Amino acid sequence: MLHAVNIKTGRFTSPHLIDRWDSITIEEKPIDESKFRRAEDVVKLRNSKGDIRASEFELLTATAFELFNEEKVQVGVIEVGVGGRHDATNIVQHPLVTVITKIGRDHQPLLGTSIEEIANHKAGIMKHGAACVVDATNSDSVLRVLADTAQEVGAEPFHRSPSDSGQENTDFQKYLGKSDLEPHQRTNLALAYRAALIAAQQMAPTVSSQALLEGARGSVWPGRLQTLDIRALTGRREPVTLDGAHNPQSAEVLGFYVNERVRPKNRRITWIIAASLGKDLRELLLRLVQSLDNIVAVEFGPVDGMPWVVPVNAESILEVARSLGVEGLLENAGEDVLRSLQLAARTATGDPIVICGSLYLVSDVLRLLRDAG
C-alpha cells in the first residue's frame, strides 16, 4: 500500500521464505544476495570490532537496518521476531505507528503461559507519542492489557481495528465488498490499512485512503493459504494448499478454511505436517485433522542462519495423531520433504492435500519447486 502511493518502502520479516536475504525487501523486491552479503559483512565487522557478541537474529536485524539506510527507504515495515518487548527489532524508538495483531499462545517458554503475559510482551513495542493499532478481535483480557500499556507509555492515538466509524472505514468497507477474503484476512487487511494510512499521512498528508486500498488489490502472501502446483515434483495434476500455520490459533483458522473451502463432502484430506520442537502437537492436530484423514509426517531441513530451530521427530507427530483416534493412513517420511510430497500425492489419489505445521516446511517446499524449475 505504501509502495502504491510512491513512498519508498523497505520490509523486514522473519523467518525468510526461501533464502536468508528474502527476509529483506526494498520496493516489494527481495534484496540482491550480493547486497545482502556486503551489508552483513559490514555488520559482522562492527560486531567483532566492538566485541558486541550479537545473536544471529540481532545481526540479521542490524543488516536489515543497514540496507534500509543504504537504500534510503522512507518507511521501514518491521516484523517482530518473538514477542516484542525484548526483541531485537524493538530498538526502534520513534516508530510512525505500531501494530499488534491477534495474539495466541506461542513461544510460551519465552513469553509466559497465560495469554495476558504474552500480551504484555507484545505491548512492549508501544512508544510514547506513536499511534498504535490493535486487532479488535482479541479477547477482552488481552485488549485490557494493551489499552493499559498504551495509557501507561503514552502511545496515542490507540486504535482498535476493524472499527465502525470514520470515512477511512467507509472506504475500506467498500473495498471489502469487492474482495473474496477469509475473515482473518479481512481483519489483518484492516490493521494493515489503518497503519499504512497513519504512516502515509505523516509522510504525505494529502495521500488518499482510496489510493492506499488500490495498492492492496491483487496482493499475495506466499505460504499463507497458497494454492500450489506440485506437478514438477510428483506428477500430481491437482493443486495443493500450502500454509505456514504452526500454533493453535493459526491452525484453527486453517482448519476452518479447509473445511469450508477445500474438504469435499465425506472425503478425506491428506496432510503433510512438520513442526518445530516444542510446539503443542496435540493442540495443532486437534484443530486440523479429522479421524479419517491421512497424515504424512516429515522433518524440515536445517534453517539457514537459525541453528537453534530444529524439527520435532516425525514419528512423534504420528504418535499424537494415533492418540487422537486418527484412522487414516499414517506415513513417516523422515527428513525427506520431497518424499513426503510424493507419498502424499500417491496416497491422496486426487483428493485434497494440505501442507502445514511450520513456516520452515513451507520454505523447503518452495525451495524444491524453485530448484525443479
In Å, the largest CA–CA distance within the chain is 63
Q: How far apart are CA 57 and CA 77, in angstroms?
A: 17
Alpha-carbon torsion, ordered 335, 341, 347, 351, to 10 deg: 140
Neighbour tally for 151: CB within 10 Å: 12
Q: What's the confidence (pLDDT) of residue 167?
A: 54
Q: What's the confidence (pLDDT) of residue 178?
A: 64
Q: What's the confidence (pLDDT) of residue 327?
A: 95
Q: What's the confidence (pLDDT) of residue 166?
A: 58
Q: What's the confidence (pLDDT) of residue 19?
A: 94
Q: What's the confidence (pLDDT) of residue 109?
A: 79
Q: What's the confidence (pLDDT) of residue 210?
A: 83
Q: What's the confidence (pLDDT) of residue 281?
A: 96
pLDDT averages per 10-residue partition of the chain, 373 residues: 92 93 96 97 97 95 98 96 93 96 82 92 96 94 96 93 64 71 86 93 87 81 93 97 94 94 89 95 96 97 91 98 97 98 96 97 97 90
DSSP secondary structure of 46-109: HHHHTT----HHHHHHHHHHHHHHHTT-SEEEE--SSSSTTSGGGG--S-SEEEE----S--HH
Q: What's the confidence (pLDDT) of residue 197?
A: 92
| Residue owning grid cell 543497514 | 66
Query: Does residue 294 contact residue 329 with C-beta atoms inside 8 Å?
Result: yes
